[in-house]
Amino acid sequence: MDKPSLAVDALILFGDGIVLIRRENPPHRGSYALPGGFVEVGETVEEAVRREAKEETGLDITLLKLVGVYSKPDRDPRGHVVSVCYLAWGRGEISAGSDASAAEVFSPEYLPPLAFDHATIVRDGLEKL
């Protein structure tokens, strides 16, 4: 039986902006996105979002609040992916890694086009501040 995959995304506040990564791999290769990825077996979503943030941005994060759960079946071209998204505070030195070719801080007023439904997630998260 096919089942949805479980993923996490992090809306990381850092300095005067939010952290975005430039995707190294398809889908949306070269596009900006929130740091995130798939939850591994035996891992909580909270552990997964901290791990993914560290792998992709070099930052340690403190989770502030849940932004939401995003579950539209067509939100990811790879298939039905449900994402649990957190608002977080980042600390450390930013550096791209893992599936990211770049990790950068952007002003919320001047964001580039975002992959997936991440523009919606950013809007929802900033409303919760």
Structural domain including 92 reads 5-127
Averaged confidence pLDDT in the chain:
96
Mean pLDDT of 87-109: 95
**Is the per-residue pLDDT at 112 higher than 80?**
yes
How many CA atoms within 13 Å lie on the side-chain side of 70?
A: 23
**Number of domains forming the structure of the chain:** 1
pLDDT tens across 3-44, in order?
A: 999 999 999 999 999 999 999 999 999 999 999 999 999 999
CATH code, domain with 112: 3.90.79.10
Q: How far apart are CA 7 and CA 56, in angstroms?
A: 14
Residue 119 token pair: 């523009």
| pLDDT-based confidence at residue 1 (cuts at 50, 70, 90) | low
Largest Cα–Cα distance of the chain, in whole Å?
Answer: 45
Distance in angstroms (rounded) separating the CA atoms of residues 98 and 123: 26
Rounded to the nearest 5°, which phi and psi values hold at 78?
Answer: -80, -15
